[in-house]
Structure 1
Amino acid sequence: MPFFVYGTLRPGEHNHDRFVRGRDVRAQPAFLHGGALYDGPGHPFATDGDGTVRGALLTAAPAEYPGLLVALDRLETYLGPGDPRNLYERVVRPVEVPGSGTVRAWVYLAAPAVTRTLRANGPRIPGGDWLSHRPPRTDRLLPPPGPRTP
């Protein structure tokens, strides 16, 4: 099953570079309807809600899928369904892929305790698009490492 990603795992973002780049993974723009997106400490949290979350659908080659699933579960602090230590829950949701219709995908939504806190106090991201909300990536503004010249 593909993954719907909406924050630091989107193409061009730092966790995409760390966990997805170099694997045989296809990325397509996608939308999660019936969601809400909240700002977290350096990364967003999606919850069920009344809006649309903008992201990407990642489809891994069969040989890459098991390793990618384990890596993403670890990254998202997903220890299993309903585990009270989860930061996110991995759930199945319908996701719209423009021009291709709707597909079922894994989505990491905020765990129940996190969701309660976000709904009470969390800043919601207007328009549901992390890339248009987050601060610019400073690592892209730095020159590549190389030899220094005096």
Structure 2
Amino acid sequence: MEQLPIFVYGTLLPGQPNAYMWADSVKKVETAVFPQGLLYDMGHYPMLVEEPGGSIIGAIFTLHNAHFQQVVQRLDELEDYNPQAHAQSPYRREKRIVGLRNGRSIQAWTYLGNPSYVKGMPPITSGDWVSHASKKGTPFLDWWANVTTVKGLLTDNNDATK
């Protein structure tokens, strides 16, 4: 697999519940924007779906080469992504172009949501998960204390808070 930076937009961002998953694997973090997408509030985490009109605020993580495969495996598990069942996975790891603060664009891996899972879920029109999550308070953080994957949480398409 090509060792590209990884664009994240939710619980993997600095200060969020899953930021610990990066550990000492990160060389560089840059603010970035995913064009043409919409975030949905899945209860305790967001799902990014490619849709025209919106943009998503996130970050690009460039990893140390020696850690890349291990980190991607952890992220695939967190996002319940199965490369052998790409189309059936709730999140799919895909290459996309994202914009950086300095005006440059860069290709990165990101986890895109399967649109069938967001039916009936509220959109986060600001495109900013960190701001949105900050309003959720302690129950949001407490929920993540014992969760290590979204696997099984999306089996009923719209039931993200099991």
Q: Same fold (TM over 0.5)?
A: yes
TM-score norm. by structure 1 comes to: 0.82
Q: Provide the residue aligned with 2:90 in structure 1.
A: 87
1:1-150 equivalences in 2 (<5 Å): 1-17=4-20, 19-50=21-52, 51-80=54-83, 82-83=85-86, 85-99=88-102, 101-111=104-114, 115-118=115-118, 120-134=119-133, 135-136=136-137
Amino acid at match of 2:56: V
Gaps of 5+ in 2: 143-162
CA-based RMSD of the aligned residues comes to 1.9
TM-score norm. by structure 2 comes to: 0.76
- Alpha-carbon spacing, 1:67–1:121, altered in 2? closer, same or farther (3 Å): same
Kept in 1, the 8 Å contact 2:90–2:117? The answer is no
Task: Please report how far the alpha carbon of residue 25 of structure 1 lies from its aligned counterpart in structure 2 after TM superposition.
Answer: 3.5
Task: Please report how far the alpha carbon of residue 60 of structure 1 lies from its aligned counterpart in structure 2 after TM superposition.
Answer: 0.1
Task: Please report how far the alpha carbon of residue 41 of structure 1 lies from its aligned counterpart in structure 2 after TM superposition.
Answer: 2.3
Kept in 2, the 8 Å contact 1:81–1:89? The answer is no
Kept in 1, the 8 Å contact 2:57–2:128? The answer is yes
Gaps of 5+ in 1: 141-150
SS of residue paired to 1:14: coil
Kept in 2, the 8 Å contact 1:28–1:97? The answer is yes
Structure whose CA Rg is larger: 1
